[in-house]
Amino acid sequence: MKRKLLACVLACTMAASLAGCGSSASQTANDSKPAESVAAEQSQASEESTPAEESAAETGELDVKSGTTLNVTTTFAGEESNVQNYQDSVKRWEEKYGCTVADSSGTADETFKSRVISDFEAGAEPDVLFYFNGNDSNPFVEAGKVVTIDEIRSVYPDYASNMKDEMIPACPADGKQYAVPFYGYWEGMYVNKSVCEQAGVEVPGANTTWDEFLEDCQKLQDAGIQPIVMGDKDQYVMQFGLYQLAADEIYSKNADFDTQVREGDASFTDEGTWDTVLEMYKTLYDKGYIDSSKSLGYGASQAITDFIDGKAAMTFDGSFNVTALTAEGAAGNFERGYFPLPGTDGTYTATCLSAGYSIYSKSEHVDECKELLDYWMDGESDLWDAYLASGKIIATYGNGADSAPNYDLFKPFVDMLNDGKAFYWCNQAWPAGTENEMLNLFSEMVGGQGTEIDDITEGMQDKFEDLLDE
């Protein structure tokens, strides 16, 4: 079976309209080459270094040449909140070093991903790439096209030293670290603490059990309060609960589950895995804690409005929607909480340390690229300060993170991440289309169309295998 290089998303940097963290199944150039050819290219790439790299290694100093133009591709574009801050930072760096940044940034979506992949296939690689970590970057790593963090630190020993190294994701291809993530997101449940207290319900937290959570939902329902509102008309919203439960029930017990599925050593149909997750989430609909008659006709934005208007005690959503979910609605500025959805045997979190900066290994300007990244990523830059001020927390950073506006709200997730109780959003290891099959079938089930749990798990497995065979 021909294995397609999987594209994940660690772009939970994407807005919710991108279906949470979707994956891409774009074909890479290496897929069409003989294995011997690819191996030779990789070996050559690992043995060769650019003149800039050799110079830096010999002198221990970077040779930043005034007048250099760097081609830079990022996702600071469109409606991303820090577009202007990014552009301002670029301008200041250009003025400081007399260099130019030729920016080709685009909105973080599938079109952007496809363009980047095409550029690498065509030999039009940017000098600096802001791209998704994990499986998405495998083709670049396997072709020897990006510079490791260790190499950057050979010149800048303190590069990203304000970050906990163990939290920098390693590339699945070789276990080395290439990109420092600039984004980090979670999926969890936003809680209206006022409504819970009104109903005499203890606010769910990181230590709440699944049974206790169900009891709380029942108490809310008995008090005439809708426990959970969801906008399931936008099917990707269903991921927000399912992936949390998957972290609790599957990946906490077997972190290699997806790898084993890919290798044929496990299956989505295995008892006690996805059948358990789907059944648990279905319970919330069966008991009316999520009203499917409403949710299936509600879009994501409608659910957010209901939550901030005080019409429901909870909603499941990503940390990337914190601004909308903490806005003042008809219910006024009530106190919110944000917690992971509990499991049957402990609570874990679905976490995404997503896009990060990488350097093209064959760039003619590796020194300048390293200087640019150090300028941005030292934990003290104006771009970093602006990012913190926007309330988007990068949990693995120490410098200033605890002073960011939403740090207290996100702290339960930060603590779990630091305690090793966090797992990636599972579709990050799936070929694109697998999650859509799951969501379509789950929607059919809660919509009363006769679809069963077994139909969903079998559909996921069949789709996964079909996509790998393409």
Which pLDDT belongs to residue 89? 87
Which pLDDT belongs to residue 226? 97
DSSP string computed for 62-131: ----TT-EEEEE-S--TT-TTHHHHHHHHHHHHHHHT-EEEE----SSHHHHHHHHHHHHHT---SEEEE
Kindly state the average pLDDT of the residues 283-296: 97
Where is pLDDT greater, at 237 or 400? Answer: 237
C-alpha to C-alpha distance for 363 and 49, rounded to whole angstroms: 10
Which pLDDT belongs to residue 204? 86
- The answer to whether the beta carbons of residues 377 and 34 sit under 8 Å apart is no
Mean pLDDT for all residues in the chain? 81
Where is pLDDT greater, at 198 or 456? Answer: 456
Q: Which helix (H) or strand (E) holds 25?
A: none
Which pLDDT belongs to residue 100? 95
C-alpha to C-alpha distance for 358 and 129, rounded to whole angstroms: 5
Grade residue 62 by pLDDT with cuts at 50, 70 and 90: low
Which pLDDT belongs to residue 167? 66
Kindly state the average pLDDT of the residues 393-415: 75
Which pLDDT belongs to residue 414? 81
pLDDT in tens, 405-422: 888 898 888 888 778 888
Q: Is the pLDDT of residue 379 over 80?
A: no
16-183+354-399 under CATH 3.40.1280.10, yes or no? no
**Phi, psi dihedral angles at 233 (to 5 degrees):** -60, -35
Kindly state the average pLDDT of the residues 251-280: 95
Which pLDDT belongs to residue 43? 35
Three-state DSSP class for 57?
A: helix
pLDDT in tens, 300-309: 999 999 999 9
Range from 1-15, 26-40, 255-269, 445-459 that averages highest in pLDDT: 445-459
Which pLDDT belongs to residue 2? 26
Kindly state the average pLDDT of the residues 244-266: 94
Range from 113-127, 138-152, 332-346 that averages highest in pLDDT: 332-346
Q: Is the pLDDT of residue 175 over 50?
A: yes
The ranges of the chain annotated as CATH 3.40.190.10 are: 16-183+354-399, 187-349+431-469
Which pLDDT belongs to residue 276? 98
Kindly state the average pLDDT of the residues 69-97: 87
Q: Which amino acid is at 277?
A: V
Percent of the chain, pLDDT > 90? 44
Which pLDDT belongs to residue 269? 98
Percent of the chain, pLDDT > 70? 81
Kindly state the average pLDDT of the residues 396-404: 68
Grade residue 328 by pLDDT with cuts at 50, 70 and 90: very high
C-alpha to C-alpha distance for 371 and 96, rounded to whole angstroms: 11
Which pLDDT belongs to residue 183? 66
Residues facing residue 350 across a β-bridge: 187, 423
The CATH architecture assigned to 187-349+431-469 reads: 3-Layer(aba) Sandwich (3.40)
Kindly state the average pLDDT of the residues 420-445: 89
Q: Is the pLDDT of residue 12 over 60?
A: no
- Alpha-carbon distances of 226 from 41, 179, 213, 235, 306, rounded to whole Å: 59, 43, 14, 20, 10
The edge-to-edge listing of strands for the beta sheet with 180-181 is 100-103, 69-73, 128-131, 356-359, 180-181
Kindly state the average pLDDT of the residues 423-439: 87
